[in-house]
Structure 1
Amino acid sequence: MKVSDFSFDLPEELIAQHPLKERDASRLMVLDKYKESVEHKIFRDIIDYLNEGDTLVLNDTRVLPARLIGEKVSSGGKIEFLLLKRLSQNQWECLSKPGKRAKPGAEFLFGDGKLKAEVIEVLENGNRIIDFKYSGVFEQILDELGEMPLPPYIHETLEDRERYQTVYSREEGSAAAPTAGLHFTRELLDKIKDKKVNIAYITLHVGLGTFRPVKVNTIEDHEMHSEFYIMNRETADIINETKRRGNRVIAVGTTSCRTLETIGDTNSTVREQSGWTDIFIYPGYKFKIVDALITNFHLPESTLIMLVSALAGRENIINAYNIAIREKYRFFSFGDAMFIK
């Protein structure tokens, strides 16, 4: 299958640059993958499409303010580090810009020396291993000095950092938000619970690879990035009971979907576990756990539009995206939502 099969023309003005004032006021396209029909709603209407006994699976990861801007000790030159993966207490794998300033042995200062860094190694992919030195708690220093690493297609400043966090975020470790969850408010989640819909949590720390373009012509040749996930026993029990009853497991976001499909076995059951996943879901994939999906509108030729096409069918998705463009839905991280049922 060709990457170009997932291409479409998206007007730049439809790329949302900021979140709406009210989280649940985004538009919601409801796509019935069996009837091949489309409805236009508001996100808070999602409750009307959830049934008693269904289970919503939410990714409770929290985005780190992982963008650090400082200066090189020897020259005063500006440097930017983006924390990708924690390797030990003080060492991280990072992106650096400009890379030519971040050679092994180079030292940098952030926040007038409150945080110091030394480049230990340059990896084959160009990322750096950085050793940080500081007094106190690293997370507190990062919260003070770091900036939110917004996606590359967002060019405006985010006034409130919490709008790039879900209201249920709690496990710090992501370089990007699980954006389908940004539409939920605490009040909406309470109403969903009152309808006797189960709420279950998994953790998948989203990496920047989620924005990496697919650079091959044939999708089977693409190599996915790896991300860390956790599923606890409580969530596993809720999901297994839901499947046993014949109710739906509804993933909130592609991150929840990939985690569930990584853990799920051929008997459509899951178990408590943690690990790394590089699962790549594209048309032809047979879903083991996920019955329905709440998601945003994704980039052309991305692994994410391939995933939703696997669930709903490529023709259904391309048709729905063309409708979304015609109806001027807002796209990407701060954009509108789709419910594939």
Structure 2
Amino acid sequence: MMISAVEPPEAHGVRRDEVRMLVASPSGVKHAHFNDLAQFLRPGDLVVVNNSGTMPAAVDGSLTVHFSTWLDDGSWVVELRPEGTEGHVGQRVSLPEGHLELIEPYEPGRLWRARVSVDVPSLLARFGRPIKYSYVPQQWPLADYQTVFARDSGSAEMPSAGRPFSPELVTSLVSAGVLFAPITLHTGVSSIEEGKPPLPERFHVPALTARLVSMTRAAGGRVIAVGTTVTRALESAPDGGEGWTDLVLGPSRPAKIVNGLITGWHAPGASHLQLLQAVAGRDLVDVAYEAAAREGYLWHEFGDSCLLLPA
């Protein structure tokens, strides 16, 4: 049985790098804690992280609005809450400052493209709070929704696979010869209907990161992606680049660059699960999920972790 994590681990006396970690490889399943990560990585492995920071993307006005991402024309993709709220073209929603107007559906039934009358980053800085869902009953500070790698604010929701890393753990891994490199992928809201493919996301793979990936693979090291966001970015632009990615990884498009994955626990049936299978294969992912369910691992952004090493 999988159980939702209802609060940050720090709230009950567990450091972020002390959450449980299931390690799945062809040799079997091992149960550890995240700060044991060095036992499962080798000198010369490259860990690629997402340095996108989490925005305080929920704002309460005449309706609650989740700001998902900004588009190239200056409009924003938004979600209206509470769940089930239906908007219509031309509808105005009052905000603590200014208003937004719905222009057209962005993803029918859920997301809208909207024109906002004020500067959104300033609005969020003054009035925003982190997006949370019903399995987390209490509101937690924005700092609890940031990873240690966060530099460039832009994600509607935390790239949560990186949350268990602490500065001390990163230092220990670097001292052991494990390499780190960043990408940026700004995540939108995660509440897309089950079974639907992920929406396009804004990303940047620096040229230096792409070179490190190539050098690591040539030297026989492993490229370990921290999260599905990193996997999507690297597989979209193996030689580096930036823009929007609509890449959908899965059985028909397996991963070609990433050969190891650190991830949280996602609901079966979600598009994230297909991406895990694209990296590690269906059999290994199924074994990991069955073992995690038996052992009561915690789901979602404040939950436990998984290291998939298919080779």
TM-score by length of 1: 0.81
Q: Which stretches of structure 1, 4 residues or longer, exceed 4 Å deviation after superposition?
A: 98-103
**Paired position in structure 2 for 1:157:** 138
Deviation at 1:333, TM superposition (A): 1.6
Instruction: Confirm or deny: 8 A CA contact 1:149 1:176 kept in the other structure.
Output: yes
**Paired position in structure 2 for 1:176:** 157
Instruction: Confirm or deny: 8 A CA contact 2:5 2:136 kept in the other structure.
Output: no
Deviation at 1:194, TM superposition (A): 0.9
Q: In structure 2, how many angstroms separate the alpha carbons of the residues matched to 1:143 and 1:260?
A: 30
Deviation at 1:309, TM superposition (A): 2.3
Kindly provide the amino acid, as one letter, of the partner of residue 212 in structure 1.
I
Q: In structure 2, how many angstroms separate the alpha carbons of the residues matched to 1:291 and 1:118?
A: 43
Residue among 281, 303, 306 paired with 1:335: 303
Kindly provide the amino acid, as one letter, of the partner of residue 141 in structure 1.
L
5 Å-filtered alignment, 1:13-28, equals 14-21=3-10, 22-28=15-21
Kindly provide the amino acid, as one letter, of the partner of residue 249 in structure 1.
V
**Paired position in structure 2 for 1:132:** 116
Deviation at 1:160, TM superposition (A): 2.6
5 Å-filtered alignment, 1:137-286, equals 138-150=120-132, 152-208=133-189, 210-215=190-195, 222-263=196-237, 270-283=238-251, 285-286=253-254
Q: Are residue 92 (structure 1) and residue 76 (structure 2) matched?
A: yes
Q: In structure 1, how many angstroms separate the alpha carbons of the residues matched to 2:216 and 2:153?
A: 28
Paired residue total: 301
5 Å-filtered alignment, 1:23-42, equals 23-32=16-25, 34-35=26-27, 37-42=28-33
Gaps of 5+ in 1: 1-9, 72-78, 216-221, 264-269
Residue among 290, 293, 299 paired with 2:261: 293
Deviation at 1:161, TM superposition (A): 1.7
Deviation at 1:212, TM superposition (A): 2.1
Instruction: Confirm or deny: 8 A CA contact 1:283 1:311 kept in the other structure.
Output: no
Q: Could you say if the C-alpha distance between residues 89 and 165 of structure 1 is closer, same or farther in structure 2, counting changes exceeding 3 Å?
A: farther
TM-score by length of 2: 0.89
Structure of larger gyration radius: 1
Structure 1 window deviating more from structure 2 (309-318 vs 198-207): it is 309-318
Q: State the SS of the aligned residue for 2:147.
A: coil
Deviation at 1:131, TM superposition (A): 3.2
**Paired position in structure 2 for 1:61:** 52
**Paired position in structure 1 for 2:95:** 109
Identity, % of aligned positions: 30
Instruction: Confirm or deny: 8 A CA contact 2:87 2:102 kept in the other structure.
Output: no
Listed one character per residue, the Cα deviations across residues 253-279 of structure 1 (whole Å, up to 9, x for unaligned) are: 11111111112xxxxxx3221121122
Gaps of 5+ in 2: none
